[in-house]
Chains A and B, each alone.
Chain A
Amino acid sequence: MKTITANRLTDGRVIYRTATGDWTTELAEAARLDEDQADAVLEIASDESHIAVGAYLIELEDDRPGGQKWRREGIRLAGPTTGSTHAQATA
């Protein structure tokens, strides 16, 4: 299974493309794409750079980022693994 991700033009936040062609910050709402359709949808998504910058395909396994880039995409999804400096300092 694959899906399409990018960074939102206005603020750079991680977004995913839904089956209806909207962009969302929620991976759960992202389109699930089969191998054979993925490239065609990516081509359409790449034309949406007024919303989404640098669209590309990622692999999903069990609805989580998978494949060789699972960690990178997991960090994009959930944020840095370092803990919040602000929370630490104000604790």
Chain B
Amino acid sequence: MYQYDSYDHAMVADRIAEFRDQVARRLDGRLTEDQFKPLRLMNGVYLQLHAYMLRVAIPYGTLNSTQMRTLAGIARDYDKGYGHFTTRQNLQYNWPALVDIPDILDRLAAVEMHAIQTSGNCIRNVTADPFAGAAADELEDGRPWAEIIRQWSSFHPEFTFLPRKFKIAVNGAKADRAGIRVHDIGLQIVRNDAGETGFEVWVGGGQGRTPRLGHLIKPFLAPEDLLSYLTACLRVYNQHGRRDNLYKARIKILVEALGPDEYGRQVEDEWAVIREGELKLPAAEIARIRRFFDQPKQAEPTPVPVTENRAFARWLDRNRRDHAVEGLSSLVISLKPIGGTPGDITDAQMEAVADLAERFGFDEIRATPDQNLILPHVRNGDLEAVWNGLVEAGLATANAGLATDIVACPGLDYCNLANARSIPIAQAISTLLEAEGLSEKAGDVTIKIDGCINACGHHHVAHIGVLGVDKRGEEFYQITLGGAFGSDAAIGSIIGKGLAGEDVPAAIARLLHTYLDIRAENERFIDTLRRVGSDAFKEAIYADA
């Protein structure tokens, strides 16, 4: 993992000292809320319905056990004993007191973590494939590039006050698990005919109010040109981006207005000027950053155990993934217990995960865009010990990728911007689908729920999306079908009028029953949907409404 250098340490320490002073000045009245709000947001501090919320960055989703224990300690000492993993590979605390936040930030800084650039119109935490450095289908680990972008963009004066927030994703595997087409800029590592690796550059994706898929504007960018090209992309955006209208200020709107070709042409013009300048990445620097990540894992070529224990076998089947190294596996730790709150994890569970990572997992943990955790490297001989540890911690739900592995934003139970609740809908769907045995029967299905159109829970890119809306004080939920996150990215379409919250679980159950009735052999839900179209499911959804 990347280790902070003294420059990073000093920067973070300065920022916390500055924020401590700002909090003190707010508390004694020298700063008004209007003056303080942008300052707290720059440090990841929001004010939600019941409390402040602190968003902690987990750069490219990678954590070690010491960091996880620190997160657990903060949850215990300053929160209500739990934290919430988000789709952005961040952790959110729902209950910290403002007066404690400088101390919390000190604790985070001691383990090289922070809340900087988790908010505001800057370049946010870079998203990466959570299986990076482990996946069997990987071309190259994307995280060194995410780190290079992080170092370049952190506190970057030119890009700290962009028209809107800016999100970048890097994916180094064949399958896109970082969501490159739904980020402002997505970088897909590819190999050209000469066998060199470089990036496809996708621009203009995003979710929220106007969901868009990104466009390919550069099929092959040489690695040493990454920062100059990104700079050119951002400059063209910064020059044109519409600051007058919040909803139109995203790069996706600009790319659409200019057209991807014209936007790409302007980027090329800008790039031509700066390409050979100081932003060219020296090979030695790339190699230096890579060394933090390239720690080859050694393992005996032990096969995955064959077991009589049905619960263990089921969990292996759903939650284990192939690793690039023979004898190792990657494991998904589901944070979706049946009927639980998606993404929530208690202090004790965080510590259990830290212990397992330390003993059996090369001290590495990942956070995923599905609000789960991953132990990326586990020896096959240790799989049963890890599973036993997870069972003990209440973390062995065997549902990774199933319909009960639901993503949900905080919604109206926490969020100030929400129109409707998300989590209770997720809980009710999960409970019903499990009771009807549908989760296991229906196989790979994604269900994602949002409490408003900002789409923090990614409902636009779910096979089955659920969007909460408010109609004169009542919660209603629109169902979208056919979205996808990843290599086959797609934006789902609304299939009809909204349902009352209590009708949503049964509607989804009927939808999945219909799928089971009409699917071809071994056909996944999304493939059946694409084959027959969403009308075939409409009747099932509205059967009772």
A positions within 8 Å CB-CB of B: 7, 9-14, 49-50, 53-54, 67-72, 75-76, 79-86, 88-90
- Measured in the bound complex, the distance between the Cα atoms of B80 and A11 in whole Å is 13
Closest Cβ–Cβ distance, residue B85 to chain A (whole Å): 12
The contact sample of 20 A-B pairs, CB cut-off 8 A, is A7-B47, A9-B27, A10-B27, A11-B98, A11-B99, A12-B47, A49-B32, A50-B29, A68-B473, A70-B473, A71-B473, A75-B49, A75-B421, A82-B424, A84-B80, A86-B80, A86-B346, A88-B337, A88-B340, A90-B346
Option from B26, B51, B418, B421 in Cβ contact (under 8 Å) with A12: B51
Q: Assess whether A53 is in contact with B346, with CB atoms less than 8 Å apart.
A: no
Closest Cβ–Cβ distance, residue A90 to chain B (whole Å): 7
Q: Answer whether residue B367 sits at the interface, using C-beta atoms and an 8 A cutoff.
A: no
Q: Answer whether residue B475 sits at the interface, using C-beta atoms and an 8 A cutoff.
A: yes
Q: Assess whether A10 is in contact with B98, with CB atoms less than 8 Å apart.
A: yes
The answer to whether residues A80 and B473 also contact, given A9-B27, A10-B98, A13-B50 and a CB cut-off of 8 A, is: no
Q: Assess whether B99 is in contact with A54, with CB atoms less than 8 Å apart.
A: no
Closest Cβ–Cβ distance, residue A41 to chain B (whole Å): 19
Q: Which of B329-359 contact A (CB under 8 A)?
A: 337, 340-341, 344-349
In the complex, number of A-B residue pairs with CB atoms less than 8 Å apart: 89
Count class of interface residues, chain B: 35 or more
Q: Assess whether A71 is in contact with B412, with CB atoms less than 8 Å apart.
A: yes
Q: Which of B162-201 contact A (CB under 8 A)?
A: none
Q: Assess whether B346 is in contact with A11, with CB atoms less than 8 Å apart.
A: no
Chain A residues closer than 8 Å to B421, beta-carbon distance = 75, 81
Known: A53-B47, A75-B412. 18 other contacts (CB 8 A): A9-B98, A10-B27, A11-B52, A12-B48, A12-B98, A50-B28, A50-B29, A53-B33, A54-B47, A79-B50, A80-B414, A81-B413, A82-B427, A85-B340, A86-B81, A86-B346, A88-B340, A90-B348
B positions within 8 Å CB-CB of A: 26-29, 32-33, 47-52, 80-82, 97-99, 337, 340-341, 344-349, 394, 412-414, 418, 421, 423-424, 427, 472-473, 475
Q: Assess whether B346 is in contact with A80, with CB atoms less than 8 Å apart.
A: no
Chain B residues closer than 8 Å to A14, beta-carbon distance = 49-50
| B50, B97, B394, B413, most chain A CB atoms within 10 A | B50
Q: Assess whether B424 is in contact with A81, with CB atoms less than 8 Å apart.
A: yes
Residue of A nearest to B346 (CB): A89
The answer to whether residues A86 and B33 also contact, given A10-B27, A13-B50, A75-B412 and a CB cut-off of 8 A, is: no
Chain B residues closer than 8 Å to A85, beta-carbon distance = 81-82, 340-341, 344-346
- Measured in the bound complex, the distance between the Cα atoms of B348 and A82 in whole Å is 20
Residue of B nearest to A77 (CB): B50
Q: Assess whether B344 is in contact with A80, with CB atoms less than 8 Å apart.
A: no
Chain A residues closer than 8 Å to B337, beta-carbon distance = 88
- Measured in the bound complex, the distance between the Cα atoms of B27 and A81 in whole Å is 31
The answer to whether residues A80 and B413 also contact, given A9-B27, A70-B473 and a CB cut-off of 8 A, is: yes
Closest Cβ–Cβ distance, residue A13 to chain B (whole Å): 6
- Give the 3 A-B CB pairs with smallest separation, nearest first: A11-B97, A80-B413, A86-B81
Q: Assess whether A76 is in contact with B49, with CB atoms less than 8 Å apart.
A: yes
The answer to whether residues A89 and B424 also contact, given A9-B26, A11-B51 and a CB cut-off of 8 A, is: no
Q: Assess whether B346 is in contact with A75, with CB atoms less than 8 Å apart.
A: no
- Measured in the bound complex, the distance between the Cα atoms of B80 and A69 in whole Å is 26
Chain B residues closer than 8 Å to A75, beta-carbon distance = 49, 412-413, 421
Chain B residues closer than 8 Å to A67, beta-carbon distance = 473
Q: Assess whether B348 is in contact with A89, with CB atoms less than 8 Å apart.
A: yes
Chain B residues closer than 8 Å to A72, beta-carbon distance = 49, 412, 418
Closest Cβ–Cβ distance, residue A60 to chain B (whole Å): 14
Residue of B nearest to A51 (CB): B29
- Measured in the bound complex, the distance between the Cα atoms of B48 and A13 in whole Å is 9
- Measured in the bound complex, the distance between the Cα atoms of B344 and A49 in whole Å is 32
Chain B residues closer than 8 Å to A84, beta-carbon distance = 80
- Measured in the bound complex, the distance between the Cα atoms of B349 and A76 in whole Å is 28
Closest Cβ–Cβ distance, residue A56 to chain B (whole Å): 12
Residue of B nearest to A80 (CB): B413
Chain A residues closer than 8 Å to B27, beta-carbon distance = 9-10, 50
- Measured in the bound complex, the distance between the Cα atoms of B82 and A79 in whole Å is 15
Residue of A nearest to B393 (CB): A89
Q: Assess whether B29 is in contact with A12, with CB atoms less than 8 Å apart.
A: no
Chain A residues closer than 8 Å to B349, beta-carbon distance = 89
- Measured in the bound complex, the distance between the Cα atoms of B34 and A54 in whole Å is 10
Chain B residues closer than 8 Å to A71, beta-carbon distance = 412, 473, 475
Closest Cβ–Cβ distance, residue B100 to chain A (whole Å): 8
- Measured in the bound complex, the distance between the Cα atoms of B331 and A16 in whole Å is 47
The answer to whether residues A68 and B472 also contact, given A53-B47, A54-B47, A89-B348 and a CB cut-off of 8 A, is: yes
Option from A9, A69, A79, A82 in Cβ contact (under 8 Å) with B341: A82
- Measured in the bound complex, the distance between the Cα atoms of B104 and A11 in whole Å is 14
Chain A residues closer than 8 Å to B48, beta-carbon distance = 12
